[in-house]
Amino acid sequence: MKIYLASTSPRRKQLLEQIGIDFETIDIDIDETWDGREPAKTYVKRIALEKARAAKSKIQNNLPVLAADTSVVLDNLILGKAETKEDAINMLEQLSGRTHHVYTAVALITETEQVCLNISHVSFRPLSKSDILEYCETEEPLGKAGAYAIQGKAAAFIERLEGSYSGVMGLPLYELAKMLKTIR
């Protein structure tokens, strides 16, 4: 079965390919602004569903539409994506030596709408200033939630992961597989 992926994320594409899903991407643009008050769990589920709905509105058939949203959450605050090197440094300093949560919501639209939430706990080792600066020089943190990519160089910062590696990457495959079984 073919599905549409409401994302151009190379990581989400890679994860779908990993489990043999036939898909086509749809580029969508929605307002992902967090107001600072909406609970993070509610926010990621809402954004994933809005992405899926935006993609569904662009297609002229009944194929399933998949979307996801990932947020790095520390002290109940969403850290967002690092837009600049300074953003990345600030976020990595906050994450250093602490455990944070990664919430990834998956939305699947068929005849109905399904949304599930994966929560992972990621513990960073204490990071030195040089660890952070060297990592930021790679530019890998830019555009990444929480200013890091678990599948990249930041893997060396992670002392412990409780949850889903693919969920931290941006698409929890276990939950996705369960959702897809309901429509086959």
Handedness of CA 165, 166, 171, 175 (dihedral sign): negative
Catalytic residue among 31, 69, 87, 131: 69
Residue in the structure block whose two tokens are 């639209």: 109
Let me know if 69 is a catalytic residue. yes
CA distance 147 to 140: 8
Listed residue (125, 129, 124) closest to 89, CA to CA: 129
Strand segments (E) across the chain: 2-5, 22-25, 65-74, 77-78, 99-109, 113-124, 158-162
SS3 content of the chain, % helix, strand, coil (to 5): 35, 30, 35
Active site residues: 69
